[in-house]
Amino acid sequence: MRYISTRGEAPALGFEDVLLTGLATDGGLYVPESLPHFSLEEIRSWRGLPYAELAYKVMYPFVEDAIPADDFRQMLDDTYAVFSHQAVAPLVQLDSNEWVMELFRGPTLAFKDFALQLLGRLLDYVLEKRKQHVVIMGATSGDTGSAAIEGCRRCEHVDIFILHPHQRVSEVQRRQMTTVQGDNIHNIAVKGNFDDCQRMVKESFGNQSFLGGKTQLAAVNSINWARIMAQIVYYFQASLSLGGPDRSMAFSVPTGNFGDIFAGYLAKKMGLPINQLVIATNRNDILHRFMSGNKYEQHQLEHTLSPSMDIMVSSNFERLLFDLHGRDGAAVKTLLENATRGPVSIEDYRWKHARKVFDSDAVDDKATCDTIREIYEQNEYLLDPHTAIGVRAARNCRRDSAVPMITLGTAHPAKFPDAISESGLSVEPQLPAHMADLFEREESYTVLDNNVSEVQGFIARHWKNA
């Protein structure tokens, strides 16, 4: 399988090169030249498979030119063996035909573990094969950083530099990153917001001269295709658990960078019956404003109780725009260049095509807290603020009550005690046993100004072969 850029000017690459490249040389994101498609009969035959085996069925077409089947199976077995629940992604029922899929049973208590535990193993495999070293540079709004560090910290051929917005992630999120010790692990707190961190990562991938030609950058953010690929699987898992593919499903996805919900869109294109995808956002609602009114316009980023979604530039939205424009890279490039100067819209028929499957909602902090409290009072089930936004959006946007609605539960509530407290509940969410001493562990991180040259200089000085 070959991969092409959403901007249309970079060369097509194989899986190994896409894994290590991240951002395409033309500034675009890589997507498969064509998607595998599964028949209903084939999907039906996967009922009852263990999660790792289902992951193999869904993902192997994307990597088969690069990784032998037995090696990939072993990676998947190792990846999902570290999750704390035998089902890996268990479903919890909230109401009639309403469910939460718990995607926080991995080692860092967030959905990012599904992709980043695998990404670390993929990197180790390919870099060992090539005898190559890379520098991982990533930006996090809270959860990607800890999942990337946990997934990649044992990799022999990488140095890891994770940027997070200073004082704009929860304390648990910060400590999950900054208490992991290792000569190859570097946490950078940038005096800015997540969009600033993400912009620095993109600029650095576009010009890697600060590394002196001695190594290259590799991406852990969802600009890396492997991240998206791994997230497709749990849509199939949820459907098969609730009667799919013989009945269609609806999903509500808390999203900031559009990666997780784009994986659902791909699952639909690959043959899984999905009749609705709900984009659930907080006050940073650029995706909701586009999907509800065909207007893509950046506003000032706001700090909320759901910090992992405090994002205004949704990188993976470019992948959807590429599809909506008939895979015309030049049109996407022009649109996104115009978007840096002011509001943009797409042709009405393209927007209406997106609306056939996508709905959206923006949920403020008060409604988030109300939802946390209501669900706990109804079910004694505690939601984190991001999942609460997903549940509220699902209820506000639901098209058909006969279709199962599944909200992706993106993080453990113990990561966001402030939101639980703001909701008026007296319950204190507890960290699981393997993190019980998190607040006693020593932290290590560096605070830098919101300046790309300063960040690049730090990386150039501190990767181990510098």
List residues with catalytic annotation: 112
Dist CA 450 CA 429 (whole Å): 34
Q: Which residue has the tokens 């560090």?
A: 149
Taking the CB of residue 190, how many other CB atoms lie within 10 A of it?
24
Task: Round to the nearest angstrom and report the end-to-end CA distance of the chain.
Answer: 35
Q: Which two tokens stand for residue 220?
A: 């852990």
Q: Which two tokens stand for residue 78?
A: 């190792």
Taking the CB of residue 91, how many other CB atoms lie within 10 A of it?
16
What does residue 286 show for φ and ψ, rounded to 5 degrees?
Answer: -60, -35
Q: Which residue has the tokens 């199939």?
A: 236
For residue 39, which amino acid is it? S
Instruction: Name the residue among 427, 307, 431 with its Cα closest to residue 376.
Output: 427
Q: Which residue has the tokens 């403020």?
A: 364
Spell out the residues 6+ positions from residue 157 whose beta carbon is closer than 8 angstroms to its own: 123, 124, 127, 128, 132, 133, 134
Residue 68: asked if its preceding bond is cis (omega within 30°), the reply is no
For residue 452, which amino acid is it? V
DSSP state of 440: G
For residue 54, which amino acid is it? L
Are the C-beta atoms of residues 205 and 22 closer than 8 Å to each other?
A: yes
